[in-house]
Homo-oligomer: A and B are copies of this chain.
Amino acid sequence: MKIGIIGLGLMGGSIAKALKSQHEIHALDHNPQTIEFALSNHIIDYGYQDKIEFFNAVQIVYICLYPRALVKFIKEAKNDILPGTVLIEISGVKTSVVNALEPYIDNRFELIYTHPVAGREKIGVASSSASIFTNANYIITPLDRNTTKNLELVDSLARSMGFTSVSYLSPEKHDEIIAYTSQLTHILSLALVLSDDQSFETVKFIGDSYRDLTRIAMINAPLWSELFMENKEILLKKIKNFKKTLEKYENCLESVDETQLIELMTAAKDIRLGMEKGASR
């Protein structure tokens, strides 16, 4: 198939690489150097800076833009999108994006909201890699207006990219789950690094545990600040919930209650071991 990609960043480039062997890849990017790089490295087959030329060439399009840029792009480009085009967006928040975009969507084309739960602590097409999708999770948040045929298309494309689990959720449930599994996780990593008083040369004393917990602190701040802000009410609830759990550990230490401490640790261990068995990766 002819597959279009809007925005050749880390995610756009990775999707291009994951689909290139089976499909013809067309990409739209505002930066001519990015297109040139992607063409000369055989990441894409055709590159465009003009959206009308691009939309004339493709029927299936992944929009790989940050949430606010995505909303702006669709508002501005909606009349240039050819009838029958399938658009797949991939941002990490859903409710705010759906609410912002749905008033502008008509039946000329079909927009499907999805979230490939994958990434890395790098930015740009040069850091893209198809391997980030291998055995990862993919979430689709279908709306009533979405067609079974095109949802199945998105599902099968995700599996062909290497995703092993494809789940269907409402936008609201997506945002609640992701606030916990992804956003809270990033906030904790950031706060851990920032709570270093730096009175020692930390790097000489860390083990793999600290390295693993803080790797995602090497964050794409402009992207993640959008994701956090667009989902802030739910994220704040998850932070408060986390603090309550943390206080259980504090209480054990303060009251020297080792029995209760071991119980809490064992409960956490059992939950995480259960995930290891069921893990797709």
B187 touching A246, Cβ below 8 Å? yes
Q: How far is the CA of A163 from the CA of B144 in the complex (A)?
A: 58
User: Which among B217, B242, B250, B278 is the interface contact of A236 at CB below 8 angstroms?
Assistant: B250
A180-198 contact mask (Cβ, 8 Å, vs B): 1 or 0: 1110111111111111111
Residue numbers in B under 8 Å from A219 (CB-CB)? 265, 268-269
B180 touching A196, Cβ below 8 Å? yes
The distance from the CB of A190 to the nearest CB of chain B, in whole angstroms, is 4
Q: How far is the CA of A213 from the CA of B213 in the complex (A)?
A: 5
User: Which among B136, B208, B221 is the interface contact of A207 at CB below 8 angstroms?
Assistant: B136
Residue numbers in B under 8 Å from A78 (CB-CB)? none
User: Which among B216, B236, B243 is the interface contact of A254 at CB below 8 angstroms?
Assistant: B236
A207 touching B117, Cβ below 8 Å? yes
The distance from the CB of A252 to the nearest CB of chain B, in whole angstroms, is 8
A268-281 contact mask (Cβ, 8 Å, vs B): 1 or 0: 11011111101111
The distance from the CB of A117 to the nearest CB of chain B, in whole angstroms, is 4
B203 touching A245, Cβ below 8 Å? no
Q: How far is the CA of A201 from the CA of B196 in the complex (A)?
A: 34
Q: How far is the CA of A197 from the CA of B238 in the complex (A)?
A: 10
